[in-house]
A and B are shown apart, each in its own frame.
Chain A
Amino acid sequence: MSNPPVMSELWLDVLNRVCGKAAHELKGALNGVSVNLEVVRSRADRPDTVASAVSSFAAAASTQLEAVISLSDALLALGRPAREPVDIGLAVRHLATLLAPAARADGRRLEVDGAVSDIGRSMASALAVRATIGTCLLSAIDASTHVRCLVTEEQALQITSCDRATIEVDAGVVAAAEAAGIRVEHTSPAGNTISITFPR
């Protein structure tokens, strides 16, 4: 087996891929803000404009702006060094915020169970936690049309491919995670569920 990848390299790769997937969504949302504001602006210039002629576009601009804020918040949060011990749920939420819209645009679904927010913190390095979660999520999204994130009774993060497609995680990644104290394993015979257990 070749040497496991260094966690910083793994995280850089995850960040590149996540940014690539989110870029279109971010630009799309910015586009939505811009186009809808332009409708509001141009109609507002007309003396005969009634409020109903602009309100729906103002609302659409507002919704799109919220999407921009959400995407850019998540992107900035992941770009910044995380406080340790790292909040596992927050890392999952930020990654899912960036990946879910792109998955939706491709006809896929990424669901994150509410309980994930309360999964707690890990003593592993923030880089290792984020890189491991990101790699596993990306592998699952690439393999499946419906991915779901849950928290097990053992407080492990479980990523399931609901259409039972096998989630393949590179052995090097598994080894690198293990070196950082994080255990990644298939927990279903079909290989459609992986479980990530973090050191506390």
Chain B
Amino acid sequence: MAPSTKNTNPKILIADDEAAITAGLSAILGDDGYAVDVAPDGQNALERLSAERYGVVLADLKMPKLDGLGLLRELQQRQIPTECIIITGQATVDSAVQAMQQGAYDYIEKPLNAEKLNRLKALIPKAIEKFNVQQKNRELTSRLEGLTHYAELTGESESMREVYQVIEAVASSTASVLILGESGTGKELVARAVHSKSDRAKGPFFALNCAALPKEILENELFGHEKGAFTGSTNEKPGAFEMASGGSIFLDEVAEMAPDIQVKLLRALETRQVRRLGGKKEITVDIRIIAATNKDLQRAIASGELREDLYYRLAVVQIDLPPLRERSQDIRLLASEFLVRYSGQNNKKISDFDAAAWDWVLSYHWPGNVRELKNAVERAVIMARGTTIGVSDIMPRHLRGTQGTPSAVTIQVGATVQDARRQLVLRTFSSTAGDVARTAKLLGVSIDDVRRDMAALIDGTHSDGKDAEDGAESSGEGKSGGIAAPREKAGSAVKRTAAKKRQPKE
């Protein structure tokens, strides 16, 4: 007898020109609780599938107007979601393989005797399950498409939507989550999103920064203590694990945690039990751990700063949060939101950034990520005198004077790696107003490396040994003064070099 739950299933379409077969099949599937429609030919089936959603199509291979393979092809081309089971009276290996290659879920050979009908009945729920899973994914994807906000996160870039998808997928599970991302990218917001989208949303969310707290305090915060556990502990105190039971704990900068606390954390993760400092009793906790770090974890594991077994426990699901410079299409959205927020908070009527300010905001590489952008906009709102924010309002003091220097580097195809590297060094050197140490820090190279590259540029020596015409002119000023000399002089020397470089050769 038909299980009543099947009534909630998607409909089934039978595409066959044999009325005697479609009537019988409809009755058999209807008796099993499925809602069934019939299309007398392939073209009609395609029209119905375009207009209405069917979980499964049972299509005869040979039909008038559009045959089964043609129908499959059209379904693929038009991206009509359904699972197609081909019913064929001509079950050659070729036609079956062709049907499967074109995306058929399966095929059944005619005549549909009792054995084959049973096989078909067994196939249909599986096909419907596949359709339902894919349907859920499609709905999730379409829900996230066009989304600019997700929980407290803001961003419409592809990379942020991928982050939203991972959060959406992982939230309902109990898996530990490790969030990786540079400082200021919004790791805590991701952690909050995982919590708020989970079944634990009504439970507590407890955030701890492992780098900000001394070892003893962190241990006490995490596990709590019994009365008299140490000097001055006059009362018992539950730790974060206990207080957040039924909710989530967010451990920021987890790689900074002292090794002996890492051992305790690992144990807590494995047994779901904690023991307070000075306590003898094991306390069972129901907790989800969300950890984050901006460290190079491979290096931290190799150097022994982070236990490898703890890493694997924490990184059941890993979320890589992109830096702001890698999702530049989100900068405008974020900047506009911060502008509205801080204008309101400061009772200012600032409507927009002016064109030059937008140019700068959109081209700056934001090493401090969203946090830096947020702070810059807040400062600009406070500093602005008119109804728009100008470039001088938003640009940090240390970057002023390098206004004309483009922050992007364009490398022509055919350039050598060394040329590309020197271009990058040159532009960064220029953007830091000739600060060699800051240039080296930004580029992640040594000061000597920067000096060597700058000297090569000024000497006009390219990797291929040719003289760089544009570098030669400034060599007199640049050799000694361009790098080691005070910043103003160095900056001007470099700017001239860069300006000359853009001129076409005569």
A: residues with CB less than 8 A from B are 23-24, 27-36, 38-39, 41-43, 46, 56-57, 60-61, 63-64, 105-107
Contacts and interface: CB of A to CB of B under 8 A. Distances in A.
Interface in B101-148: 110-114, 117
Contact of A60 (B20, B28, B62, B114): B20
Interface centre among B24, B25, B112 (most CB of A within 10 A): B24
Contacts of A43: 27, 31
Contacts of A34: 111-114, 117
A105 B21 contact: no
Interface string B10-40: 0000000110110111011001000000000
Nearest to A32: B20
A42 B31 contact: yes
A60 B23 contact: yes
A39 B89 contact: no
Nearest to B87: A31
Interface string B259-291: 000000000000000000000000000000000
B21 A32 contact: yes
B476 interface: no
Interface of B: 1, 17-18, 20-21, 23-25, 27-28, 31, 62, 64, 89-90, 110-114, 117
Given A28-B18, A60-B23, A35 B28 contact: yes
Contacts of B31: 39, 42-43
12 contacts: A24-B62, A31-B89, A34-B111, A34-B117, A35-B20, A35-B28, A35-B112, A35-B117, A38-B112, A38-B117, A41-B114, A57-B24
A91 to B, nearest CB: 27
Given A38-B28, A43-B31, A105-B64, A31 B18 contact: yes
Contacts of B20: 29, 32, 35-36, 60, 63-64
Contacts of A33: 111
Given A38-B114, A57-B23, A60-B24, A32 B89 contact: no
A23 B88 CA distance: 12
A195 to B, nearest CB: 32
B25 A35 contact: yes
B111 A27 contact: yes
A39 B112 CA distance: 12
Given A38-B112, A42-B28, 8 more contacts: A23-B90, A32-B21, A34-B113, A36-B20, A39-B28, A60-B23, A105-B64, A106-B64
Contact of A107 (B62, B64, B113): B64
Contacts of A36: 20, 23-24
A43 B1 CA distance: 10
Nearest to A26: B89
A32 B18 contact: yes
Contacts of A64: 20
Given A28-B89, A31-B89, A31-B111, A39 B24 contact: yes
Shortest 4 CB-CB distances between A and B: which pairs? A35-B24, A32-B20, A27-B89, A30-B111
Contacts of B112: 31, 34-35, 38
A56 B20 CA distance: 10
Nearest to A102: B62
Contacts of A57: 23-24, 27
B24 A24 contact: no
A118 B90 CA distance: 37
Nearest to B117: A38
B110 A31 contact: yes
Nearest to A107: B64
A35 B111 CA distance: 8
Contacts of A28: 18, 21, 89, 110
A50 B42 CA distance: 35
A170 to B, nearest CB: 27
A105 B63 CA distance: 8
Contacts of A61: 24
B21 A31 contact: yes
Given A23-B89, A105-B17, A32 B24 contact: yes
Contacts of B18: 28, 31-32
Contacts of B117: 34-35, 38
A57 B113 CA distance: 15
A35 B20 CA distance: 8
A24 B90 contact: yes
Nearest to B65: A107
Contacts of B114: 34, 38, 41
Contacts of B111: 27, 30-31, 33-34
Nearest to B20: A32
A30 B21 CA distance: 10
B147 to A, nearest CB: 47
Contact of A27 (B27, B28, B64, B110): B110
Contacts of A23: 89-90
Contacts of A38: 24, 28, 112-114, 117
Contacts of B25: 35
A23 B114 CA distance: 21
Nearest to A56: B23
A34 B113 CA distance: 5
Contacts of B21: 28, 31-32, 35
Interface centre among B17, B27, B112 (most CB of A within 10 A): B27
Nearest to A41: B114
B87 to A, nearest CB: 8
A35 B112 CA distance: 6
Interface centre among A28, A60, A63, A105 (most CB of B within 10 A): A28
A26 B17 CA distance: 14
Contacts of A29: 20
B367 to A, nearest CB: 70
A70 B28 CA distance: 27
A56 B62 CA distance: 25
A42 B28 CA distance: 8
A16 to B, nearest CB: 15
A24 B18 CA distance: 11
A57 B30 CA distance: 14
A145 to B, nearest CB: 13
